Amino acid sequence: MLTSRPHTGFRVPPNAYLRSEDVRFSPSGRLLAVAVQNAIHLVEIAPHETPVRVIRQTELRSPGLAFPHGVEFLAEDVIVVANREAWVTFFRLPAADTWQALMTIEPIHELGCRWFGPRGATRVIETGRTVRCGPGSVRRHGDHLFICANHTNTLTRHPFTLRDGVITTGDASLLAQGGLHILDGLAISADGNWIALADAGNNRVVLCHAETGAEASVLTDPRLHSPHGLCFDPTGRKLYVSDAGEQLVHVFTRPDGRWDAAMDSSAFCLPGIGDEPFWKTKLSVPEELRGLVGGLKGLDIHPSGRLLVGSCLNQPLAFFEAEVSRAATRHRPAQRQAQAPLMVSVHLPKTAGTSFRATLEDHFGPGLQNDYADMPLHKGGAERNLASLEGAVSNFLGNFDGVACIHGHFLPMKYLLLRDRLNLEFVTWLRHPVDRLVSHYAFWKRQYDPATAGPLHRTVVTQDWSLERFCVSEELRDLYAKFLWAFPLEYFSFIGIVEHYEEDHAFFVEDRLGASVAPKRLNAAPQREGPAAVDSGLRREIEAFHAADMRLYETALAMRSRRLGV
């Protein structure tokens, strides 16, 4: 039910001491945040590939990080960190295409409460060992954060809001405390009913009712000595547990999803770390501490439920292929049997997408499915991104029998999770951002029907926006980046450049379709709407305003040059 899965591309910085305590997937499953001593490592991966490929990584340092022990995503670009030697800090993440090897960031919010104790406090436990008292783990469900701290061995609940990039937090409530000893990790089931606590000092996992914090059951195993990392699978019927002091990853199961009965053994377990890194870590600490180190600490599962990741000192990342629970798939329709991959064609506005659709119609016929209902430009950022994530979950369970190609205006994230079920390839076209904007402006002015126009289109026309206002409006800023949220260019198997449409079209139909189809020009302007419509000064201003889109376009040009061997 669990098999090791290799990965490539992760770089350990020279002389780095990567004592990792927690690891967490982002909502899209594309990013990993790893809590290491005094830093957060961000890693962008291609989770659908075997081996798992690390695309890029960065190390984040901050005065707001003080022995980070737990990390959680609140959004694709916002994390919250539980610091053993401080309190709980919140950070906005830099865009992936700006990452450097080492970056410094500042916290955007801090959360403290009396249950966390004084900053940097320590206490001596019964064994004589000194432990840090601050927050050690944090997980989010809905509009609440759940946080464990060693000060008095507590689980607390904290309301929060994240609106327009601003975080507010409310008063804490105590959920659990009695009988707990050294809480190293926590997990919350997807339905929000169950909380699992790694009660390391008592060599057990405690299950609580999330609403009240009341103890529901206790999970133990003779081979489980120091539980640390915890995660439920998406169905809530499996609980994965790592042991900080042993090599094993344990899997406890409840087929009915109810965790109110005690268990004295896991359903099965497997080695989560090799002998060499395991013993290297154990032998690096005093003998009295060796029972607490060596094994995996951080543990998390991909949103698809198919990929488990662990992390610890001397093995920063370890991936495992997980079997998806039958309960998660029993309503899933039969999978598409076509030999060719399902093509997902992202039509970015005014990038020859209508002309390209004609090619797809000629080739795929009734196998082409149009998807233009989302209207991403007419939604705010949070609404647009949330809709794409909801679409991703829905599509993961969808029936695509008879569908050979999907084409339309949508965020490609909407279909990304489907790669864990089907063989998919993503394609798109890009155009110089300034020329795209000029064409977009002229098209909206030329083609306006108040009965069907979206809210932004209606505003542009009824308020008679000038070209300059249109091109430097926040609503239309970095359109490519908006559409490609949480979806790097490297995920596309083909990116055409509109300025080279005939040449790139010929390559596409031969390489991807194995056919010869003449390009068509549809929905084109009656006269050229290009560079001549913008003077050089305004053009430079627009390019600077759309800096993120310029970087994407230039990257796509470089990818094209590599494809052509230039």
Q: For the chain, which residues make up each domain, given as ranges?
A: 2-329, 342-564
Residue 530 has pLDDT above 80, yes or no: no
pLDDT digits (tens, 9 = 90+) for 382-420: 999 999 998 998 898 888 988 999 999 999 999 999 987
Q: What is the pLDDT of residue 523?
A: 56
Which whole number is the average pLDDT over 295-305? 90
Element (H, E) at 548: helix 547-564
Look at 375-379, 525-529, 560-564 and tell me which has the smallest mean pLDDT: 525-529
Fold (topology level) of 342-564:
Rossmann fold (3.40.50)
pLDDT digits (tens, 9 = 90+) for 334-381: 344 334 789 999 999 999 999 999 999 999 998 999 999 888 988 888
Closest to 479 measured CA to CA, from 445, 440, 446: 440
Q: Are 427 and 492 in contact (CB under 8 A)?
A: yes
Which whole number is the average pLDDT over 442-466? 90
Q: How is the beta sheet containing 368-370 ordered, strand by strand?
A: 368-370, 405-408, 342-346, 424-430, 492-497
Q: What is the pLDDT of residue 338?
A: 37
Which whole number is the average pLDDT over 175-181? 91
Q: What is the pLDDT of residue 473?
A: 95
Q: What is the pLDDT of residue 223?
A: 94
Q: Residue 407 has what DSSP assignment?
A: E
pLDDT digits (tens, 9 = 90+) for 480-518: 999 999 999 988 999 999 999 999 999 999 888 887 777
Q: Which amino acid is at 275?
A: D
Residue 283 has pLDDT above 50, yes or no: yes
Q: What is the pLDDT of residue 522?
A: 63
Residue 521 has pLDDT above 70, yes or no: no
Q: Residue 263 has what DSSP assignment?
A: B
Q: How is the beta sheet containing 183-188 ordered, strand by strand?
A: 183-188, 194-199, 204-209, 215-219
Over pLDDT 90: what percentage of the chain?
A: 61
Which whole number is the average pLDDT over 448-466? 90
Q: How high is the mean pLDDT of the chain? A: 89
Q: Are 539 and 471 in contact (CB under 8 A)?
A: no
Which whole number is the average pLDDT over 274-299? 88
Q: What is the pLDDT of residue 54?
A: 92
Q: What is the pLDDT of residue 497?
A: 97
Q: What is the pLDDT of residue 526?
A: 53
Q: What is the pLDDT of residue 14?
A: 62
Residue 326 has pLDDT above 50, yes or no: no
Look at 97-111, 167-181, 263-277 and tell me which has the smallest mean pLDDT: 263-277
Q: 327 or 319, which is more confident? A: 319
Q: Give the architecture-level CATH label for domain 2-329.
A: 7 Propeller (2.130)
pLDDT digits (tens, 9 = 90+) for 24-76: 999 888 899 999 988 999 999 988 788 899 999 999 999 999 999 999 999 88
3-state secondary structure of 133: coil
Q: 313 or 21, which is more confident? A: 21
Q: What is the pLDDT of residue 16?
A: 64
pLDDT digits (tens, 9 = 90+) for 223-275: 999 999 999 998 899 999 999 999 999 999 998 899 999 999 999 888 888 88
Residue 446: Cβ within 10 Å count: 10
Q: 562 or 200, which is more confident? A: 200
Going by pLDDT thresholds of 50, 70 and 90, the confidence category of residue 328 is very low
Which whole number is the average pLDDT over 206-211? 95
487's CB contacts (< 8 A; 6+ apart) are 28, 30, 411, 412, 413, 416
Q: What is the pLDDT of residue 407?
A: 96
Q: What is the pLDDT of residue 305?
A: 82
Q: What is the pLDDT of residue 545?
A: 96
CA distance 381 to 456: 14
Domains 2-329 and 342-564 share a fold: no
